[in-house]
Structure 1
Amino acid sequence: MKFSKELKVALLGIVAVAALYVGFLFLKGTNVFSSTRTFYVNYESVQGLAVSSPVVVNGFRVGLVKEMNLQAEKGNKILVALDIEKDIDIGDSTVAMLVSQDLLGGKSIELYMGRNTKRFKGGEYLIPFTRESITEVFTKRAMPVLETVDSTLIRLNSFLDKDAKRSIQAILLNAEATSEALRTIAMANQGNINQITSNLAGLTASLRQTEAKFSRLATNLNTLSDTLDVAAMNSAIRGLDSTVAQAQLTMRRLNENNGSLGKLMSDDSLYRNLNASSESLDALLKDLKANPKRYVHFSLLQIGGGTKVDKASNVKEADKVKNAGTVEKAGTVQEKK
């Protein structure tokens, strides 16, 4: 069976138109080969929502926005037509939530099924709900703050008159001059700063060496403590405790005034006796200086006898001379009496 050229061209044109239509629907997001049902939702505002925006359930795409129409007779509400797959259980408790798809403002519709008591077949109206995005919440919170900041800046500008502005400019100029002076001083003392840095580095190195020495000292102390005889130390401590106890007993006995040392420490009679003896000795020395004849006697006979004794030629003569001197001295004493 042969086809004419005109018929082939007609068939080719029909196929091209069908492919173009299918491609157009595909670009819009419509799945031509799947069966869907259409539902409707009324929103007060659909900012960011567009035709072919996705309809999702728990993050899974189950349909798309088919059409949107403005209803002037219903207070400018927007009627949105949704194409949803037939397998999705849509009922009287299904909520169509208008949510933000991304931070750029794109919108999508998320279905919340709920507990449906009646299943819709298509063409029914779903329950609308709009969930605010993070951007909208931030905008609502930030707008009052921005208004407050704006009013504060206006008041600040009104407060800062020409004199105040000149003063602020002078302060800024002085700060700039001060920073320049500090930079100049820093550049002039760069060598000193480098020297200080070097000294600090040397000090840090010395501290590290000292730390190493302390570590070795601690190790040596630990070794010494390990090598000490604990039993000997305990015995020495017990002996020291006994010595301290005996010393305490001795001091207590001294304080009780029972022994000689205790009486010597507490009784002042020895001090008084010593003081009296010192006074008597002082009086004796004074009297000895004033009246030396009372205590020292010289005899011319004894001196002469001694001379005679020294001049004696032998021992017998010396004895005779000595005896004669003694007799003479005795007679002199008797005469004095």
Structure 2
Amino acid sequence: MKLSREVKTAILVISGILFLIFGFNYLKGKNLFNSDDTFYTEFDYNGLTTASPVTIKGNNIGKIQEIIYVIETGKTRVSFTVNDELKFSKNSVMRLYSLGLLEGNGLALVPANDQQYAESGDAIKSEVEAGIIKDLTENFSGLSDGLDITLKSADSLLTSINGLVKDDSEEGLKNAIKELNSTLTSFKTLSGSFNSLIAKNQDSLTQVISNFNSVSKNLATLSEDLKKVEISKTVANLDETLENVNTLLSGLEKGEGSMGKLLKDDQLYHNLEVASAQLSELLQDFKLNPKRYVNVSVFGGKNKDDFEKPEDERQ
């Protein structure tokens, strides 16, 4: 059957329209030949992008199609697709969670344990991982504070510049530029002097750094040795020794033991005093009357000096 020119033109136009619709949706991330199911969820804050993954137990099961801010409710609506072979309960939860410090956030499906399967187009409840909302609000407030500080700094800088070139005449501007050049020249001279100083003392600085490294190594070794010392055991032994000394001193104070009796027994002190006096008198008598103690006689004579016991033991 031969087609007329009008029919061919109509087929070509219709094909072009269909191709245009398909291409436009493909560029928006929609595939008309994709049979994946589409679902919706809402959040108070937006922490997702269309590149954020949709996962279940860490496995990718779909992708985010569209993120829209709903003015009427003040919420962010996220539409996402899930493989049509995956069946899950409509009572499941979509959880916004963090992928890492530099990786952004993701959307995780937390399935419920029932048989009320969700159908394409259903809205799924949402929740946010603990800490995500706090981070988002802190980021917004930190951005605002940082912007405010930056604007204040810029305002102060402009005020300083205006004060520097207060004389807006040609001569005033020339003087300001001259002063700035002078300041830069002085800074350059100072920088050259500093570099020269470092070059002249490079060996000394190297030696100082080497000594510092050596000292730090020695300190590290000393700290390791101190770790190995059983300081608590040593302190315990010292405490026990001091307790024993205190016990000994307490016993001496109470007159217990031989040393305690020597220190506290008055009768023993009296006896020692008497014995010391008698010994002194004995030595004195020995010096004065040696014949009384040493009797040497050729004919066996007898010493007639008899010893008389004194009335007082101390005499």
Q: Which range, TM-score by smaller chain?
A: 0.3 to 0.5
TM-score between both structures, scaled by the size of structure 1? 0.37
> Structure 1 or 2: larger helix share?
1
